[in-house]
Structure 1
């Protein structure tokens, strides 16, 4: 009597077909879900800040100097960028630096799984958290303060992608030039405050005038604030702003790739 090898059960078949990359993503997702501090600063802090800012009565009054917009309308875009800053500068670089410092990246280079898969998983997870944060911020602004949703949806989507890429390219440079977690936290903090300023957290970019406005909009996050706000009110984003974000992303990504160390 002949016997045949039993077919894999439904429970084991998917596991057998799971690719190494999928396994890395799954593992990183579990670890990321345990980082409650990072999740708070990325997912909730921008919306909380937006709701607090809106409590100031003057910020809910249209201003002629802002083209009839209210300050709270401008902060809808600022808080979207703030989520990107939190993820790309304060959350992701320490994780990757920790993997480098502990030898995880070095050991992965001796296996079929390239460390780039782990880095890609980290970028994807943090970018996904930023997307959730953006939905929360826009929904909160709309429901509580009647801030309009983006009227130029395509322009907003393009601006959002470029702004996210620019922010994460800055985070990639911070990670690349920092030897360990202590250095990456120091460098990240130094970079964090200028990024907060150029994105308009302390003073909306649209409220800046003269040379200061010109300088700030030549930075990736200053250009992002302009492009996102233009899309919010229904204007097509200025091609100059999109070009600034794209150029910074290209240059910073090249620097990050050239300077990155696996160990």
Structure 2
């Protein structure tokens, strides 16, 4: 058996995986999924434009260590976009596939349902990265918000926080019986996490007890970590470990409870 013959199956698998990712991306940009795409990118961008247009949001605040309110809200809006895609859009898609019997039928094909999960995660990661880049570009170029000075720490925080959110999304997909139920559970997760991320009340303005609770949540750890990296500091290892722990816990729970049919 030649090396070319041995490599052929691997090449076919890669080609099939690539095609599946492209198909998932096309599906994500159409129909109801397109609404999720617009919400995931458009709504945080709209909020940033609104906040950036408010004069008081561009004035340094002593309580924020000399940062402006817009500086404080940029990482919140970044995790807002990540949360929408991971906790609402992705679970609804995967639960919908189960509801329609797609996952069950894929078990009988060479592609297999696991590749669908990989393709869905890949698409959401790519789209999330693109939205984050756009939001940072608008914040920096349009409103003078500082670009991340500790780029390595910023990237590590982004990856770990995305892992925690997508693991939570997979867990929702695992336990939801339908796309509608997945959207409902995802919305509860999303708004609860966003509260502790500081969307309605910045973490610095929360009572001490709520601040401690916030720091123990995935996005409550992600927001200050992103802020630290933006200001040139490496994120706290406690923040990174907190997000990683949620990623592992939700990931293991998703594997344990995921139903293919």
Kindly indicate whether residue 107 of structure 2 is the aligned counterpart of residue 109 of structure 1: yes
1:183 aligns with 2:198: no
Matches within 5 A, 1:118-157: 118-157=116-155
Residues 145-193 of structure 1: CA deviation (Å, up to 9, x unaligned): 1000000001001001001111111111111110111211221222221
Q: Which consecutive unaligned segments of at least 5 residues does structure 2 have?
A: 1-10
Note the residue ranges of structure 1 that are not aligned, 5 or more in a row.
1-14
Q: Please tell me whether the aligned partners of residues 89 and 171 of structure 1 are also in contact (alpha carbons under 8 angstroms).
A: yes
Aligned match of 2:210:
212
Whole-angstrom CA distance in 1 between matches of 2:101 and 2:260: 9
Corresponding residue for residue 195 of structure 2: 197
Higher helix share: 2
TM, length-normalised to structure 2: 0.91
**Residue-pair matches, total:** 249
Q: Is the 8 A contact 1:159 1:228 kept in 2?
A: yes
Native 8 Å contact 1:42 1:129 kept in 2 = no
Equivalent residues of 1:87, 1:127 under 8 A apart: no
- SS at 2:234's partner residue? coil
Q: 1:70: which partner in 2?
A: 68
**Shift, 1:205, TM fit:** 2.0
- Helix, strand or coil for the counterpart of 2:192? helix
Structure-to-structure mapping, 1:2-81, within 5 angstroms: 19-34=15-30, 35-81=33-79
Map of 2:252 onto structure 1: 254
Q: In angstroms, what is the RMSD of aligned CA positions?
A: 1.6
Rounded to whole Å, the distance in 1 between the matches of 2:158 and 2:212 is 21
Tell me, what secondary structure is at the counterpart of 1:110?
coil
- Classify 1:236/1:182 alpha carbon distance in 2 versus 1 (closer, same or farther; 3 Å): same
